[in-house]
């Protein structure tokens, strides 16, 4: 059984990830939940978000009306979810 490891957990452990040329790379971090993604400081400057290679099996809980993980990513042009083992994704 894998324990939950959210973006907030990652930030608490390693600090804010670096934004390089408009790209936020959170790939292959063993993340199971997008909780805390809305706390990333430079989200308004993020053009590309890579969260591929994580364990986002069920994103229905991350995308509830009161939880908005992508809030503040106004200029986001690219979102990579490759190899996240997604089984469930809300509309």
How does DSSP assign the chain, residue by residue?
-PPP-BHHHHHHHH-SPPEETTEEE-TTS---B-TTGGG-TTGGG-SEEE-TTS---B-TTTTSTT--TTTT-TT--EEE-TTS---B---
Which is nearest to 53 in space by CA: 78, 25, 77, 16?
25
State the Cα–Cα distance between residues 91 and 22, nearest whole angstrom. Answer: 27
pLDDT recorded at residue 35: 86
The size of the chain, in residues, is: 91
Q: What is the pLDDT along the chain (91 residues), one digit of tens a residue?
A: 568 899 999 999 999 999 999 999 999 999 998 888 888 889 899 999 999 999 887 666 555 555 677 888 999 999 998 998 777 666 6
């Amino acid at each position: 059984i894998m324990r939950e490891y959210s973006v907030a957990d990652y930030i608490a452990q390693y600090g804010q990830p670096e934004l390089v040329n408009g790209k936020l790379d959170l790939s292959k971090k063993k993340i199971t939940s997008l909780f805390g993604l809305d706390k990333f400081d430079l989200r308004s400057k993020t053009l590309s978000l890579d969260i591929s290679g994580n364990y986002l099996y069920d994103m229905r809980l991350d995308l509830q009306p009161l939880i908005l993980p992508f809030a503040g990513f106004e200029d986001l042009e690219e979102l990579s979810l490759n190899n996240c083992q997604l089984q469930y994704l809300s509309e």
